[in-house]
Amino acid sequence: MMRFPFLVQKIRLECGYLGVLVVPLVVRLEKSPSSPTESSCVFELGFHPHLSFTSKINHCGLSSNLLLYESTESKGDGKFDALEADETLPFRLPVGTAQFGPDIELMHSLGIQAYKFTVSWAIILPRGRFGKVNPAGIMFYNKIIDNLIFKGIEPFVTIHHVDLPQELEDIYGSWLNPEMQEEFLYLAEICFKSFGDQVKYWITINEPKLIAEYAYLLGIIPPSRCSEIFGNCLDGNSDVEPIIVMHNMLLAHGRAAKLYHEHFKPTQGGSVGLTVHSYMYEPLTDSELDRDAAKRAFAFHSGWTLDPSIFGDYPEEVKEYLGSELPSFSVDEKNFMKNSIDFIGINHYSTMYAKDCTNSSCSATRNRAIQGFVEIVGERDGVLIGELTGAVGSYVVPRGMEEIVNVIKTRYNNTPMFVTENGYSSPNVQVQRVDELTNDVKRVEYLSKYLAYLAKAGADVRGYFAWSFMDSYEWLKGYNVRFGLYYVDRQTLTRTPKLSA
């Protein structure tokens, strides 16, 4: 029996017999009366007389980054490949390439309507503009897209998600150089030409702010640049480089969106969006300073990406605190950046407290302009904001789903949204048995509660994607945390459905 709520038809999720409280949820696929080929996911919840609802969205599906699964056949060197050579790190297995057919069959058996995945820059263009398009890479992704559509699964394609050809790092210093805008535009054009006849939903860059933060502020992913106070990096400037990187990525997105809207949308009829990693921030105290800090935290995290993409300029909060360090957009750039997205992708996992640093003591890494002078914490008066998960800094706070959706709705005039990632990471599992890994009651509970709060949000939410289809390597965490609905045996590569599947 399928117990994963948004993937099932006419199945009631009730896990009380397992000794846990899980929201009773009925989900069904409802056919459109005007178009028999179209359907929507309908959520019906009745766990409380004052919280009952019926809600409908158009796409229910799963997310993953194929980079986290696929083999390196026909692939150029990427930024993560050097790290993967370090046998002390728990990195990916060559899983996806040989099994994408059976994997799509598994997705189809779940009844999902959509699948969001990322193409690999290093597979399509192993050397960027310095080399040729890799025909094997184009064929590989076309086969995946063909198989998805054949099974009635809508492909949502992300063009860039962290990794890129090593040669672009060696020549340009990657996103620190404005030449990367041209490189990305070339990649996007190839994707639109090669896949656009069947792909109707494009995401240019996944979580630009998180890339800038992890790679250039904290230095914890390649190219691992940061100031000494933030980490043990060989080089970098955490107060300046993330600003430059964000500016180049945003302009790369804007130019790619302009290209699509002007030259491909008229014939292909698709849409373009961006995804942001969206914590919900709540004030640590009821003081006006902490309330302002919570708003500022949003502006420095999600708003830094979304404001330019919708309004054509940076958030006022970011301008105020970064001052002359923040590049400005030209008039032409503002014009093509404004309303450059047709939808917002929200990657939401958790909620945090925000504490003001302008008038109180904070850690040295948070008490600075690049962080908006905001301390982000997960507890108040010794009490955690929610139950810990396996991901550092991630807590189970279901109300945050409704809150973040409504914040984005209000700030961005109810621009259409997709929840493009939401999921539960099991704690470190190296000592657990397979039967313990697959009996993922807490994941079922997490997803049910987050979906319940999503359905309460009065916003134009058009789809929901769970992260992730199967256990994959989670960047530097490897397999130490698991988000998947399917357990993957690292030796045999066998997929075993969990309770959540």
- Residues with a catalytic annotation lie at 207, 421
Q: Give the integer Cα–Cα distance in Å for 151 and 193.
A: 23
Q: Give the integer Cα–Cα distance in Å for 66 and 113.
A: 18
Provide the b/e sequence for 64-84 (b: ≥16 CB within 10 Å).
Answer: bbbbbbbebebbbbbbbbeee
Q: Give the integer Cα–Cα distance in Å for 348 and 345.
A: 9
Kindly report the number of other CB atoms within 10 A of residue 369's CB atom.
16
In this structure, what DSSP letter does residue 157 have? E
Q: What are the contacts of 29-33 at 24+ separation with CB within 8 A?
A: 29/111, 29/113, 30/56
Q: Rg of the chain over CA atoms, in angstroms?
A: 22
Q: Give the integer Cα–Cα distance in Å for 4 and 27.
A: 10
Q: Give the integer Cα–Cα distance in Å for 289 and 351.
A: 19
- Beta-strand (E) ranges in 81-124? 114-118
Measured CA angle at 483 (ends 482, 484), to 5 deg: 100
Q: How far is CA 333 from CA 30, 148, 309, in A?
A: 42, 36, 11
Q: Give the integer Cα–Cα distance in Å for 461 and 414.
A: 9
Contact 4, 422 (CB under 8 A): no
Token match 């994707």: residue?
A: 191
Tokens, residue 276:
């942001």
Q: Give the integer Cα–Cα distance in Å for 355 and 373.
A: 9
| Spatial CA neighbour of 224 closest among 58, 83, 101 | 83
Kindly report the number of other CB atoms within 10 A of residue 241's CB atom.
24
Contact 229, 364 (CB under 8 A): yes
Q: What are phi and psi of 241, to 5 degrees?
A: -60, -40
Residues paired with residue 40 on neighbouring β-strands, in sequence order: 30
Q: What are phi and psi of 277, to 5 degrees?
A: -80, 110
